Amino acid sequence: MKRKYFLGCLFLLESLIGVAQSTGYAFQNPNLPVESRIADLLSLMTPEEKVSQLLYNSPAIERLSIPAYNWWNEGLHGVARAGKATVFPQAIGMAATFDTDLVYKVADAISTEARAKYNEAIKKGNRSQYMGLTFWSPNVNIFRDPRWGRGQETYGEDPYLSGKLGAAFVKGLQGDDPRFLKAAACVKHFAVHSGPEETRHEFNAIPSETDLRENYLPAFRELVDAGVESVMCAYNRLYGEPCCGSGFLLKNILRNEWGFNGHIVSDCWALDDIWARHKVVATREEAAAMAATAGVNMNCGYIYKHLIDAINKGMIPESTPDSLLAPVLRTRFRLGLLDPIESMPFGNIGSDKVNCKEHKELAYEAACKSMVLLQNKNNLLPLNNRALSNILIAGPVSADIQAMVGNYNGWSGNIVTFLEGIIEAADAGTAIDQTPGCLMTVPGNYTGFWQAENADVVIVCLGNTKLMEGENGDAMLNNDGGDRTDIRLPESQREYIRILRERIPNKPIVAVITGGSAIALQEVLDAADAVIMSWYPGEQGGNALADIIFGDVNPSGRLPITLYASVDDLPPFEDYSMKGRTYKYFTGKPLFPFGYGLSYTTFEYTHMAFDQKSEINGKQLQFKVTVKNTGSHPGEEVVMVYASKAIDSLGESGHKIPSVEKSLVGFKRVYLNAGEEKVIPIAINLMDMYQWDTENKEYFISSGSYFLQTQPSSGGGGFGVWIDAQ
């Protein structure tokens, strides 16, 4: 009897083992709720295994069949550092489009290529860095000062524009599947982080409470509301606390006030800064404990290897790894990283989607919409392609691939330089020659003037590249940590275009400027008849430029930053007060205002109406703006709405006068054929007009009158209406 009982138990045990082997652990069941899978996996892991998964280069846990995964991946304007991928315009160029729908499409294309590359990499067992699905983009730091080398990664100087474009990027990248993320976005760098690069690991930003709440934080909140999966904390300190150890930032504001429930990742080696450079603690264990207590879920670096020691020394509770790891695992499950590829809705995306025809066309559209026509004397542009006999393409960036891509970039094998694009588009009966004209940064060597004298028109391509501005350590031709202490073009380029004008005083010059920031362009404006700001336009930059120059495309880009006349117009770089910065607070005369951009046609604003049914104390205001194309070319206008509050006193006429300070609160792109008129509806969210109450610690809209004006730039024009807030 005992033998039969023993054999029965043995049979039952073997049956249970067989079931377990066929179904695996509960966390491996994709049909279970994510929270159940997280709880099961946490229950199976040792403390050491949990800590290992809090590092960006998470190792495999073979006994649980968990593969290695590297969380550090880049996708700012295309999948980056991972081989072939479509290269879209740099972020600052995307900002110049003022087009949320386009940004969404670009981000969707990026995540499609990311899935394709990930799927192919997994098939060959390649789990290396930059081949994953967690992208540390976008960057919505406010581009407060043009000297910052990394400003090119942002969407410009305005928090409203940055928030709207950043939210569109997040939604496009992450997709709309109800269960799974197509890819995971990460907004950075939280917060108040925009140079100087050389001191980013040690400086202490001390903005006013009003500047923090009304300028530095709104874009981050917009992306949290849009469902961004991850937030990256910054290197610097804020009010004395390292951002990656700040309970004020990460707990009080991000988690409690805004309700963020994704994971927080440190900037790379930022936790090392806590003890080694900020010196707010003395040891690595204390740095790990400080970041963990603040709520940093993932460490790009090594400091979290000391979490176990911190626990053993009583610095943090034993439960800390569990609470930190849960949001990280949630992201991993939502991406399907622990599920078979074939079970994923994105598992069938193949390599044919990488740099495909549709994505190249999208990169071309983005490049066309990003370029800003700054000057066009006597309507020189567009050039008559068939009437030209001889064109000289000059300048040190005319054939430079680096000038196309900006930083945090990918490579496609299809990058079209300005030289190549113009040659491809030019009439077959036109002679074209090329000369660099000068060296990028070394003055004294100039060439090609005889070619210019023989040309009908000279297209001179000047500017910066990612070798001259960018992140600390990356800009190899920069001696200031990647920043620009002088916002003019290099002396060699300024001297070259001045001499060029002297040598051909009566011939047209078209200047094309590359760069990721505001450039003091007075010498270029004096020498050139037409000036185009091309930013870093991506792989289709050459084709886009050619089609704009020859009139197949009407330029429609608008400046997402203020162009200043001189660095002397700016406050000290290290000062994080917004006073004297950006169009909102700059009281001088800019070279070009925020929102500026010319077209080959003209637009007229004929009427602006406020829908009386939408009340000021409601959530939105509804406006209708009438815009007419009064020129002879079809084109796109960017309709912008700015809000300003009435000043206390009245003018001589007894009418209300709006304050000089204004803020962008709405924008919309509209396409109009020559002579066409459209009524454009624009909704204004009242939250975008709120101010920060420093006494009650809340946002509010103060009573009084507000002037809402629709205009083509922050410089003025258009129509406006007054509304009253009670």
Map 138-169 to HEC letters: CECCCCCCCCCHHHHHCCCCCHHHHHHHHHHH
pLDDT of the residue at 24: 87
- Residue that is written with structure tokens 């990499």 in the block: 121
- Domain 360-577, second-level architecture: 3-Layer(aba) Sandwich (3.40)
Q: Which residues of the chain have pLDDT under 50?
A: 1-22
User: Residues of CATH 2.60.40.10 domain(s) within the chain?
Assistant: 603-725
Are 535 and 555 within 8 A, CB to CB? no
For position 511, what pLDDT does the model report? Answer: 98
> What's the confidence (pLDDT) of residue 2?
43
Provide the token pair at 55: 């590092």
Sign of CA dihedral 137, 143, 148, 151: positive
Burial (0-12, 13-18, 19+ Cβ within 10 Å), 199 = middle
State the CATH class of domain 603-725.
Answer: mainly beta
List where CATH 3.40.50.1700 sits in the chain.
Answer: 360-577
Helix 320-334, helix 34-44: angle, nearest 10: 130
Q: How far apart are CA 345 and CA 361, in angstroms?
A: 25
- The CA distance from 198 to 470, in Å, is 11
Instruction: Tell me what pLDDT residue 613 has.
Output: 61
Q: Which of 158, 285, 286, 469 is catalytic?
A: 469
Paired sense of beta strands 635-645 and 704-711, if any: antiparallel
Q: Which residues contact 328 (CB under 8 A, 6 or more apart)?
A: 53, 54, 263, 297, 298
Query: What is the model's pLDDT at position 3?
Result: 46
- Find the catalytic residue in 229, 241, 267, 272: 267
Strand 530-533, strand 457-463: pairing: unpaired
Question: Would you say 702 and 725 are in contact if contact means Cβ atoms under 8 Å apart?
Answer: yes
* Residue 411 bridge partners (DSSP): 84
Residue 570 to residue 588: CA distance in whole angstroms: 9
What is the distance of C-alpha 724 from the center of its chain? 35
User: Which tokens belong to 648?
Assistant: 């206390």
As beta bridge partners, residue 682 has 623
Query: Is 456 one of the annotated active-site residues of the chain?
Result: no
What's the rounded Cα separation, in Å, for the pair 151 and 155?
8
- Among 274, 210, 264, 289, which residue's Cα sits nearest to residue 237? 274
Tokens 């005319």 correspond to: 398
**Tokens describing residue 183:** 């890819």
Query: Is the backbone of residue 395 left (phi > 0), alpha (psi -120 to 50) or beta?
Result: left
Beta strands 698-700 and 620-629 are unpaired
Cβ contacts of 671 within 8 Å, gap of 6 or more: 634, 635, 636
Q: What is the C-alpha radius of gyration for the chain, rounded to an integer number of angstroms?
A: 28
Say if CB 362 and CB 529 are below 8 A apart: no
Angle at 490 between CA 488 and CA 493, to 5 degrees: 110
pTM: predicted TM-score of the whole model, two decimal places: 0.95
The two three-digit tokens of residue 217, written as one number: 């934080």
Active site residue 177: no
